[in-house]
Amino acid sequence: MPVNFMPTPQELFRFAPEMLLTLVATIIMVLEPLSGADGKRKFAVISFLSLAAAIALSVAAAGDPGAAFSSMIVVDGFSTFFRILVMVAGVLTILISTNYLRMEEHESGEYYALVLFSIVGQCIMVSANELIMLFIGLECSSIASYVLAGFLRDDKRNNESALKYFLLGSFATAFLLYGVAWIYGTTGYTNLSEIRRVLLDPNSNQNMVVISAATALMFVGFAFKVSAAPFQMWAPDVYQGAPAPVTAFMSVGPKAAAFAMFLRVLMTAFEPVKDRWEPLLWTSALATMVIGNFAALRQTNIKRLLAYSSIAHAGYIMVALTAHSDIGTAAAMFYLASYTFMNIGAFAVVTYIARKGERHVEIQDLAGLSQRRPVVAAMLTIFLLSLTGIPLTAGFFGKFYIFKAALDANMVWLAVLGMLNSAVAAYYYLRLIVVMYMQAPSDEMEELPAPSVGIQAAMFAAAAATVFLGVFPSVVLDYAGKSASFIR
Amino acid sequence: MNFLDLIWLIPIIPLIGAAAMLLFGRKLSKSAISIICPGAVGASFALSIGAVMQLASLPEKAHQVILYPWLPLLKADMGYLLDPLSSVMILVVTGIGFLIHVYATGYMAHEHGPRHGGFYRFFGYLNLFVFFMLTLVLANNYALLFVGWEGVGLCSYLLIGFYFHKKSAGDAGKKAFIVNRIGDAGFILGMFFLFQLTGSLKFTEVNEVLRSARFGPEAGVFGLLSLTALLLFIGATGKSAQIPLYTWLPDAMEGPTPVSALIHAATMVTAGVYMCARSNALFSLTPETSHIVAAVGAATAIFAASIGLVQNDIKRVLAYSTVSQLGFMFVAVGVGAYWVAVFHLYTHAFFKALLFLGSGSVIHAMSGEQDMRKMGGLKDKIPVTFRTMFIGSLAIAGIPGLAGFFSKDEILWQAYSNPVLGSKILWAVGLCTAAMTAFYMWRLMFMTFYGEGRMDEHTKHHIHESPKSMTVPLMVLAGGSVCAGWIGMPKVFGENGFMQALEHWLAPVFESGKEVAHAAAGHAAEAAHHDTTTEWVLMGLSIGAALAGILLARHVYLRLKESERPSGGVLYPVLYNKWYVDELYDFLFVNGLSLGGGGLMAKFDREVVDGGVNGTAWMTRLISRISMWYDTWIVDGAVNLGAFSVRAMSYPVRFFQTGFIQSYALVFLAGVLAIFGYYWWVH
Annotated domain spans of chain A: 9-487
Pairing label, strands A66-68, A73-75: antiparallel
Nearest CA-CA partner of B590 in B246, B175, B243? B175
The answer to whether B665 contacts A171, with C-beta atoms less than 8 Å apart, is yes
Out of B281-290, B342-351, B475-484, B581-590, pick the least confident: B581-590
Reference A265, options A127, A437, A460, A359; nearest CA is: A127
Backbone angles phi, psi at B256, to 5 degrees: -60, 150
Cβ-in-10-Å burial (0-12, 13-18, 19+) of B203 comes to buried
How confident is the model over B419-423, as a mean pLDDT?
76
Cα dist from B434 to B262, B306, B331, whole Å:
24, 11, 13
| Better pLDDT: B452 or A264 | A264
Residue B423's φ and ψ, nearest 5 degrees, are: -160, 160
B683 with A297: Cβ contact below 8 A: no
Q: Is the Cβ–Cβ distance between A116 and A50 less than 8 Å?
A: yes
Please state the rounded mean pLDDT for residues B323-336: 90
Q: In this predicted structure, what is the pLDDT of residue A284?
A: 94
pLDDT surpassing 70 at residue B115: no
Any residues with CB less than 8 A from the CB of B218 and at least 6 apart, and which?
A: B225, B226, B285, B286, B287, B288
Report the candidate in B265, B284, B243, B318 with the shortest Cα–Cα distance to residue B92.
B265
What is the mean pLDDT of the segment spanning B157-175?
72
pLDDT band at B42 (very low <50, low <70, confident <90, very high): very high
Report the alpha-carbon distance of residue B420 to residue B336 in Å, rounded.
9
Judging contacts by C-beta atoms under 8 Å, the chain A residues touching residue B676 are 213, 216
Could you write out the three-class secondary structure of chain A? CCCCCCCCHHHHHHCHHHHHHHHHHHHHHHHHHHCCHHHHHHHHHHHHHHHHHHHHHHHHHHCCCEEECCCCEEECHHHHHHHHHHHHHHHHHHHHHHHHHHHCCCCCHHHHHHHHHHHHHHHHHHHECEHHHHHHHHHHHHHHHHHHHCCCCCCHHHHHHHHHHHHHHHHHHHHHHHHHHHHHHHHCCCEHHHHHHHHHCCCCCCCHHHHHHHHHHHHHHHHHHCCCCCCCCHHHHHHHHCCHHHHHHHHHHHHHHHHHHHHHHHHCCCHHHHHHHHHHHHHHHHHHHHHHHHHHHCCCEHHHHHHHHHHHHHHHHHHHHHHCCHHHHHHHHHHHHHHHHHHHHHHHHHHHHHCHHHCCCEHHHHCCHHHHCHHHHHHHHHHHHHHHCCCCCHHHHHHHHHHHHHHHCCCHHHHHHHHHHHHHHHHHHHHHHHHHHHCCCCCCCCCCCCCCHHHHHHHHHHHHHHHHHHHCHHHHHHHHHHHCCCCC
Q: Does the structure show a pLDDT above 60 at B598? A: no
For residue B17, pLDDT beyond 60: yes
The answer to whether the CB atoms of B29 and A237 lie below 8 A apart is no
Residue of A nearest to B35 (CA): A437
- Nearest 5°: the CA angle B402, B406, B407 is 115
Q: How far apart are alpha carbons A284 and B423 in whole angstroms? A: 75
B627: confidence class by pLDDT, cuts 50, 70, 90: low
Q: Which of A244, A261, A258, A385 is nearest to A314 (CA)?
A: A258
> Please, which residues have CB within 8 angstroms of residue B280's CB and are 6 or more apart in sequence?
B338, B509, B510, B512, B513
Chain B closest-CA separation from residue A34 CA (Å): 39
Q: At what angle do helices B661-682 and A156-187 cross, to 10 degrees?
A: 20
Instruction: Indicate whether B570 pLDDT > 70.
Output: no
The arithmetic mean of pLDDT across residues B463-477, rounded, is 86
> Out of A437-446, B17-26, B147-156, B555-564, which region has the weakest mean confidence (pLDDT)?
B555-564
Interface of A with B in 370-429 (CB under 8 A): 391-392
CB contact under 8 A, B46 and A172: no
Shortest Cα distance from B321 to chain A (angstroms)?
39
Q: Are B144 and B76 in contact (CB under 8 A)?
A: yes
Give whole-number Cα distances, A377 to A342, A346, A436, A463, A470, in Å. 14, 10, 7, 12, 19
- Per-residue pLDDT at B599: 46
- Backbone torsion region of residue A228, taken as left when φ is above 0, otherwise alpha when ψ lies between -120 and 50, otherwise beta: beta
Task: Please report the pLDDT score of residue B112 as a whole number.
Answer: 53
Query: What integer pLDDT is reported at residue A380 of this predicted model?
Result: 93
Q: What is the pLDDT of residue A111?
A: 94
Sign of the torsion formed by the C-alpha atoms of B91, B95, B97 and B98: positive
Between B639 and A135, the more confident residue is A135
Query: Does residue B581 have a pLDDT over 50?
Result: yes
| Alpha-carbon distance B126 to nearest alpha carbon in chain A (angstroms) | 21
- Residue in A with minimal Cα distance to B653: A295
Which whole number is the average pLDDT over B348-354? 91
Predicted confidence at residue B468, as pLDDT, reads: 84
pLDDT score for B124:
86
Please check whether residue A266 is in contact with residue A277, taking contact to mean a CB–CB distance below 8 angstroms.
yes
Taking alpha carbons only, the member of B44, B43, B24 closest to residue B627 is B24
Total CB pairs under 8 A between chain A and B: 78
Mean pLDDT of B192-199: 81
Which candidate in A225, A233, A388 is best for mutational testing of the B interface (most B CBs within 10 A)?
A233
Confidence (pLDDT) at A180: 93
Mutation choice for A interface testing from B2, B45, B639, B679 by most A CBs within 10 A: B679
With residue B67 as reference, give the H or E element that holds it: strand B63-71
Question: B29, A438: Cβ pair inside 8 Å?
Answer: yes
What is the CB neighbour count within 10 angstroms for residue B599? 8
- Per-residue pLDDT, B653: 61
Give the mutation candidate from B672, B676, B681 for the A interface (greatest A CB count, under 10 A): B672
- Maximal C-alpha separation, chain B: 105
Enumerate residues 6+ apart whose C-beta is below 8 A from B33.
Answer: B21, B25, B105, B119, B120, B123
pLDDT at position A379: 92
Q: Tell me the chain A residues in contact with residue B32 when contact means C-beta distances shorter than 8 Å.
A: 434, 438
Q: Do B668 and A391 touch (CB under 8 A)?
A: no
Average pLDDT over residues B539-561: 82
At residue B225 the predicted structure's pLDDT band, cuts being 50, 70 and 90, is: confident
Reduce the DSSP state of residue B63 to 3 states and report it.
Answer: strand
**CA A22 to CA A17: how far, in whole Å?**
9
Question: Taking Cα atoms as reference points, which of B273, B248, B252 lies closest to residue B262?
Answer: B252
Q: Give Cα separations from B285 to B210, B294, B329, B415, B513 (angstroms).
A: 8, 15, 19, 18, 8
pTM (2 d.p.): 0.58
ipTM over cut 0.85: no
- For residues B273 and B329, the answer to whether their CB atoms sit within 8 Å is yes
pLDDT at B377 > cutoff 90: no
Blockwise average pLDDT, block size 10, chain A, 488 residues: 70 92 94 83 92 95 88 91 96 94 88 96 94 94 94 89 91 92 90 90 81 88 92 91 94 95 91 86 93 86 93 95 91 95 95 88 88 89 89 83 85 84 81 80 81 93 92 84 78
pLDDT at B639: 59
State mean pLDDT over B367-396: 85
Whole-number Å distance between alpha carbons of A386 and A342: 7
Question: With an 8 Å Cβ cutoff, are B2 and A237 in contact?
Answer: no
User: How confident is the model at residue B604, as a pLDDT?
Assistant: 44
Q: Is A231 near chain B, with CB under 8 Å? A: yes
| Residue B515 reports pLDDT greater than 60 | no
Residues of A whose CB is below 8 A from B31:
437-438
Burial-class residue B348 by CB neighbours within 10 Å (0-12, 13-18, 19+): buried
- How far apart are alpha carbons A358 and B524 in whole angstroms? 86
Give the mean model confidence (pLDDT) for residues B273-299: 89
| Under 8 Å between Cβ of A283 and A277 | no
> What is the nearest CA distance from A132 to chain B, expressed in angstroms?
22
Is residue B562 predicted with pLDDT exceeding 80? no
Total residue count of chain A as it appears in this document: 488
Instruction: Tell me the pLDDT band of B655, cut-offs 50, 70 and 90.
Output: low
Are residues A182 and A217 in contact, defined by beta-carbon separation less than 8 angstroms? yes
How many angstroms separate the CA atoms of B144 and B126, rounded? 20
CA angle B52, B56, B58 (to 5 degrees): 115
pLDDT at B633: 63
- What would the DSSP string read from start to end of B186-244? HHHHHHHHHHHHHS--BHHHHHHHHHSTT----TTS--HHHHHHHHHHHHHHHHTT-TT
A164 chain-B contacts, CB cut-off 8 A = 661, 664
Report cis status (omega within 30 of 0) of the bond before A230: yes
Calculate the CA A140 to chain-centre distance.
15
> For B672, which of A175, A229, A437 is closest by C-beta distance?
A175
Contacts of A291 in chain B (CB under 8 A): 653
When CB atoms are compared, the residue of B1, B9, B650 closest to A474 is: B1
Q: What's the rounded mean pLDDT across residues B430-443?
A: 89
Given a cut of 90, whether residue B548 has pLDDT beyond it is no
Residues linked to residue B77 through DSSP beta bridges, in sequence order: B69
Judged by CB atoms closer than 8 Å, whether chains meet at A294 and B645 is answered as yes
Q: What is the pLDDT of residue B378?
A: 81
